[in-house]
């Protein structure tokens, strides 16, 4: 157990004040490695009529960044409005939820308030209506004109500090509906609507989300959120450990950062499991050990997002172990896009014996992993080059390999400046090759170093 905690509830409060594997972060105090993006957004929010669009891979922390800046910019009188989109969401439906959320917080103690529930194509929302302030029925449908008029009316009475976060914008399937938002963004600027809008979406660019509506882009501050740099990963680990009065062993600290691949979710999840292992240890401990780390990895595999696990198992769990080993080879480097030759080199390093495939069979398996029978877990960046279809999958593949005793991505070795061994003995597994300084000099360095 951790000697500074006799009470489980106290330990859990401190732990989850610092780690958020299942919910977005809302405090800048716990948003690590994103100082540049926070500063960029905070400055952009002061510009009249400008909206923010945060885009990037799923799982890099877009929602946490949006919530953090929204809460910091919003006055203490009320919270920002947080709206999530769905596949069938429409401009009218999202605007109805936005306006309902803004009206909810306008009720005063002396007014008569009625509560109602609405369901807008997958978005449920409960709101209160203050007869004294509103005085008329809200429209049931919103086009561009009625939405702008309603927002101007609300903020005229309420002040100029409101922030609205529209999350998961990429889930809206209709290009026509997304186009309505592009027109709306332009009107927010042209009509000087004082409400600040922050959009979040999974995409490589804003153009992928908003299409060819170029006229709206000058009203937007685009923020591309990339994977968390190494410093941010270590900050999450070290700050939480310090709050709990413990230390994470050097090698485990490095491996958590490497496995995570820069996705905060993995760092938070593995750390959560690791610190619980330390708390539940029958002996008093201040430093983590090998058993704590092993069990944390195993529990993280079981607790991971279901769709990642399902896709992995569909691709890897065949009659032969070839597919799983090849997936490990694809994940065994800092580069997101890997050539056939590079993948084959990793495969040779990770496998041995009579079951080892020749190069032509490895290429055949790689192509199979692009197909529907393998969940399309891989895709071609270009001919002869491969990447995971979902970038977040790479961290999960590393986690599964780690569970089996194989340490991937040891090309990250110099990130910590550590001279400790890069391979622990793991039950039933052979030891992986240790990366040397000369090996590191030949590799492409991960971003953030």
Q: How many CB atoms lie within 10 A of CB 211?
A: 14
**107-140 per-position pLDDT tens digit:** 444 433 333 433 334 444 444 444 334 334 556 7
In the numeric block, which tokens belong to residue 247? 């230390």
Q: How many CB atoms lie within 10 A of CB 83?
A: 22
* Degrees, nearest 5: CA angle 207-28-68: 45
Domain boundaries, the chain: 1-20+228-303, 34-225, 306-449
What is the number of H-type helices and E-type strands within the chain? 17, 10
Residue 297 pLDDT:
96
**257-303 per-position pLDDT tens digit:** 999 999 999 999 999 999 999 999 999 889 999 999 999 999 999 88
CA dihedral (93, 94, 97, 100) positive or negative:
negative
Beta bridge mates, 221: 52
Query: Residue 442: CB partners within 8 Å, gap ≥ 6?
Result: none
Residue 69 backbone phi and psi in degrees, to 5:
-70, -30
Q: What is the pTM of this model?
A: 0.80
User: What kind and span of H or E run contains 182?
Assistant: helix 175-190
Q: Is the pLDDT of residue 256 over 80?
A: yes
Percent of the chain exceeding pLDDT 90 equals 59
Q: Over the chain, what is the mean pLDDT?
A: 82
- Mean pLDDT (whole number) for 201-213: 84
Residue 30 pLDDT:
83
Q: Which CATH superfamily hosts domain 34-225?
A: P-loop containing nucleotide triphosphate hydrolases (3.40.50.300)
3-state secondary structure of 309: helix
């Amino acid at each position: 157990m951790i000697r500074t905690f006799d009470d489980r509830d106290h330990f859990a409060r401190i732990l989850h004040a610092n780690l958020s594997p299942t919910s977005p972060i809302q405090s800048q105090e716990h948003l690590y490695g994103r100082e540049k993006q926070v500063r960029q957004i905070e400055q952009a929010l002061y510009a009249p009529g400008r909206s923010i669009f945060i885009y990037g891979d799923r799982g890099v922390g877009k929602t946490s960044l949006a919530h953090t800046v929204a809460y910091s910019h919003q006055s203490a009188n009320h919270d920002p409005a947080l709206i999530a989109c769905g596949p069938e969401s429409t401009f009218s439906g999202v605007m109805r939820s936005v306006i309902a959320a803004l009206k909810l917080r306008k009720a005063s103690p002396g007014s008569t308030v009625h509560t109602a529930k609405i369901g807008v194509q997958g978005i449920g929302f409960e709101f209160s209506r203050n007869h004294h302030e509103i005085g008329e029925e809200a429209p049931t449908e919103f086009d561009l004109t009625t939405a702008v008029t309603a927002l101007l009316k609300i903020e005229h009475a309420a002040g100029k500090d409101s922030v609205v976060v529209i999350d998961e914008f990429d889930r809206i399937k209709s290009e026509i509906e997304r186009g309505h938002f592009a027109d709306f963004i332009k009107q927010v600027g042209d009509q000087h609507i004082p409400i600040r809008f922050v959009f979040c979406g999974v995409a490589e660019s804003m153009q992928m989300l908003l299409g060819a509506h170029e006229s709206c882009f000058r009203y937007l501050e685009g923020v591309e959120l990339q994977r968390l740099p190494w410093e941010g990963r270590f900050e999450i680990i070290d700050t939480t450990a310090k709050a709990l009065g413990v230390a994470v062993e050097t090698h485990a600290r490095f491996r958590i950062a490497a496995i995570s691949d820069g996705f905060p979710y993995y760092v938070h999840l593995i750390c959560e499991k690791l610190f619980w292992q330390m708390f539940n240890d029958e002996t008093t401990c201040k430093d983590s050990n090998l058993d704590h780390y092993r069990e944390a990895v195993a529990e993280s595999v079981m607790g991971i997002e279901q769709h990642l696990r399902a896709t992995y198992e569909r691709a890897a769990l065949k009659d032969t172990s070839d597919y799983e080993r090849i997936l490990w080879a694809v994940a065994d480097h800092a580069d997101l896009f890997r050539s056939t030759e590079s993948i084959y080199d990793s495969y040779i390093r990770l496998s041995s014996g009579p079951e080892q495939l020749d190069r032509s069979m490895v290429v055949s398996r790689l192509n199979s992993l692009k197909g529907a029978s393998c969940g399309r877990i891989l895709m071609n960046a270009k001919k002869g080059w491969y990447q995971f279809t979902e970038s977040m999958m790479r961290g999960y593949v590393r986690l599964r390999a780690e569970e089996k005793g194989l340490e991937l991505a040891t090309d990250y070795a110099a990130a910590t400046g550590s001279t400790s061994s890069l391979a622990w003995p793991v039950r039933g597994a052979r030891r992986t090759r240790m990366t040397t300084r000369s090996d590191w000099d030949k590799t492409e360095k991960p971003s953030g170093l």
